[in-house]
Chain A
Amino acid sequence: MNVNPAPVIAFAPELDCASVIGDSPICYHCGEICRDGALLSHHKSFCCAGCVAVFELLTENGLDQFYSFEAGAGVKITAAAEAAAFKYLDDPVVRRQLVDFAGERVTRVTFRVPAVHCIACVWLLENLFQLKPGIGHSRVNFPRKEVFISFENARVKLSEVAQLLAALGYEPELNLADTAERPRNPVSRRLWLQLGVAGFAFGNIMLMSISSYLGLDAFSGPGLRKLFGWMSLALALPALVYSGADYWRAAWLACRRRAFSIDVPIAAGLAALAGWSAGDVVTGRGPGYCDSLSGLLFFLLCGRMFQQKTYDRLAFDRDYKSFFPLSILRQNGRNQERIPLSQLRVGDRLVIRNGELIPADARLVSGPAMIDYSFVTGESEPARKSAGDHIYAGGRQTGGAITVETVKEVSQSYLTSLWNRETPAREKKASLDTLTNRYSRRFTLLVLAVAAGAALFWSWRDASRALPAFVSVLIVACPCALALAAPFALGTAQRLLARRQIFLKNPSVVEALARVDTVVFDKTGTLTASGAGVAAFWGQPLAEEEMSCIRSLAQHSTHPCAARIAESIEGEHLARPVRSFSETAGCGMEGLVDGRDIWIGSAAWLESRHLAAPSPPGTTGSLAHVAINGKYRGCYTLTHALRPRAGDVLRQLSAHYELALLSGDNERERERFAALFGPSGQLHFNQSPLHKLEFIRQLQAPGRKVMMVGDGLNDAGALQQSEVGVAVVESMGAFSPASDVIMPASMVPRLHEVLRFAKSSVRVVQISLLISTLYNIAGLSIAARGLLSPVVCAILMPLSSVSVVAFACGLTARLAGRMDSNTIPQGKAIP
């Protein structure tokens, strides 16, 4: 073994030249520019004490190899994790809900770690055992961004593991949904096994059947043929029982509900094949149809596998639980303690800090609160609350820490009860009414009629051929090609859309998309970019100096309006010192900049200081008035910027679909959207989450198929109620409410193409169904005469399946290609 010491580059005496950009050095740990001056340690520069701490921890434990993978691979430590922050994880109830396995000696747990982003992260997290004795094996699942850790109970506590991860910058994401039951054994594992067993049976049976196809068994005598028959049957049996288990169960359920889904003729075909083969082999009549039987199962399971495509990074079924924290800071007399949310009782006093969420309906006890409900109601402005006011769960505090007293349980709060009510309706919607199932209802009855007819006909003409004819019809009608057409066509469509950043929950969403006739949009965050607003000044023109002063003042506030005003003042401006700055939340701010007394605030606030603040004519959006040295100068109007090409997509859609707008915001921008939505578009403002949900229900009552496009939790109810819920996200992996489709905001302008593509994909399925029906008719005409031999069956079945699959996939891929070629010239035309 080569045991040369590794070159110790990490301790080179001079500062690494590559780690300096311009004047500011680059942090050796996280790779960000050190804005507030660099901290030096071991001749390296760091941006903050947190990064230094991680660097020292790693080098002390001989893990400095971390930095050789990629320069600045670390995660910036944004907030120093408090030692007590994870204490609540050791609470027996919470602990039991979180861990995967809790043994006497060893515990295994899986944490979601969104910060994992590169190979160095994988390496570091899989070397945790070197940092803390007692941690055993750890393994990273990169696409899921999960780390699986096992540790010894005697030496490490669960809270310490989480604490260590947080200290390294990989704070585990813990939310209320983690305490809910998670499916232990994923379905896909079972499907792989079923596929493996079916493939094993199919391959080996084929090997033995080839000789009989070619007529070679005539030379080998009856002994071998008998052996092959018995062996085929033995191989087909596990495939039939284990691999086919889901079809038996589904067919049984469908029969009991009198809903003839596609599983019924499949199960009938399988049973007919198996029964007839067993009879053939036992009586020595012939080789049986075991080859077709196992092949059929194998192809069907391949189709299922293709349909199973999931996108690990995305969660389509998030409810409020994924949004709520797992723990909360409770005020207990003079002390503060972190408790699991499940232990929260009515009447508890909670401390909510800047950016934290209010987990249950509560009453404000102390502190002026600015509650940002944008995610809940869609209102873009934070609401001001004073002591004694009622605060709904789901709001986020912006500003200083506040104390609240809970008045309702978490699960009884206004928003959470809204979701709780909706979940069962959602389950029912889940794809029983697919194209294939509707088609197969008629198909099943037809097959049974033909089988019975053939049996009756032969029992009258030649009784010995009645049973074979009946069985052959069932065998040949087994709709393998039919069952494969939709999964492959829609599965291909799902994959092709995913390549264009549009992720569908499952292939059947394509069908739902094709049925849509009404499109409902949310405003903020969907048609307009959330947060990003345009600030334009109206009034007496400001001098360059004055603008610079306003900018410096505005930069002192964290209010979104102030940030937009600061952004709107372009050019190089030195930050000027601001003296006697004060901000009245929800009203305005003032400060002395370069000897100018500047006030920026609402009209009411200025009027309370005896200054008239006129509104400019015909404005939309919110206003921020400016006064300098006690003289009114004008106001900034803040409008939400429409997303690029949002107007185009609305125009395109309005030709074929009913359009509607639902906004939680006020009516200020009604005229602007009335122009965009056209005369038939319905516009509704000031909509609460419940209003949105009701509106969708009303649309659905006369049978409309509604697609809801939204972005926040305020749309969550509507997204669930609609036939297709589309969640728009700023970046992939960002939070999105439960939905059927997740797409980035940049794809919203292509919505009409997506809908058109879905429609043509469904047409592909219809054509595929037609083709497979033709195959079935050809097969039936042979079978009804009682002439079906194993060879014909073994050729017809795979031929029909493969050709239908190839047709469905190929045509869908071509359609997707056409979708792109349609848009590229358009994209070029608009600079």
Chain B
Amino acid sequence: MIVIYLLIPLGIVTAAIFLAGFIWAVRSGQYEDTCTPALRPLIEDNPKNHKKANE
């Protein structure tokens, strides 16, 4: 059962990483607009525009 002393902190650390991810997501405003990001994948990338943007 000694392994549990390793597993429990490991589990907590993993969960803490997800919590940090969640905090980052909230801070960066991802929860404020849940509609527009869903539209963006529908926009096809035009290679011509891409070239221009990278210039």
Contact = CB atoms under 8 A, between A and B. Distances in A.
A binds B: yes
Interface string B1-43: 1001100100110011011001100110101110110011011
A252 to B, nearest CB: 26
Nearest to A192: B26
Contacts of A6: 46-48
A186 B32 contact: yes
A449 to B, nearest CB: 41
Contacts of A197: 19
A141 B52 contact: no
Contacts of B1: 220, 224
Question: Which of B36, B43, B44 has the most C-beta atoms of chain A within 10 angstroms of its own C-beta?
Answer: B36
Nearest to B53: A130
A5 B51 CA distance: 11
A2 interface: yes
Contacts of A685: none
A290 to B, nearest CB: 14
Contacts of B32: 141, 186, 188-189
A122 B36 contact: yes
Contacts of B39: 119, 122, 142
A207 B7 CA distance: 12
Contacts of B16: 200
Contact of A143 (B15, B35, B49, B51): B35
Nearest to B36: A142
Interface string A167-206: 0000000000000000000101100110011001001100
A193 B23 contact: yes
B30 to A, nearest CB: 10
Contact of A188 (B22, B31, B48, B53): B31
A204 B52 contact: no
Interface in A267-296: none
Contact of A224 (B4, B12, B19, B27): B4
Contacts of A204: 11-12, 15
Given A143-B36, A192-B31, A204-B15, A65 B49 contact: yes
Contacts of A200: 15-16, 18-19
B49 A141 contact: no
A485 B35 CA distance: 29
Nearest to A203: B15
A186 to B, nearest CB: 7
Contacts of B19: 196-197, 200
Given A4-B47, A62-B49, A142 B15 contact: no
Given A65-B44, A122-B43, A200-B19, 6 more contacts: A6-B47, A119-B39, A123-B43, A130-B49, A143-B35, A220-B1
12 contacts: A4-B47, A5-B47, A62-B52, A69-B43, A139-B36, A189-B32, A193-B26, A196-B23, A197-B19, A220-B1, A224-B4, A231-B8
Interface of B: 1, 4-5, 8, 11-12, 15-16, 18-19, 22-23, 26-27, 29, 31-33, 35-36, 39-40, 42-44, 46-49, 51-53
Interface of A: 1-6, 62-63, 65, 69, 119, 122-123, 127, 129-130, 139-144, 186, 188-189, 192-193, 196-197, 200, 203-204, 207-208, 220, 224, 227, 231, 235
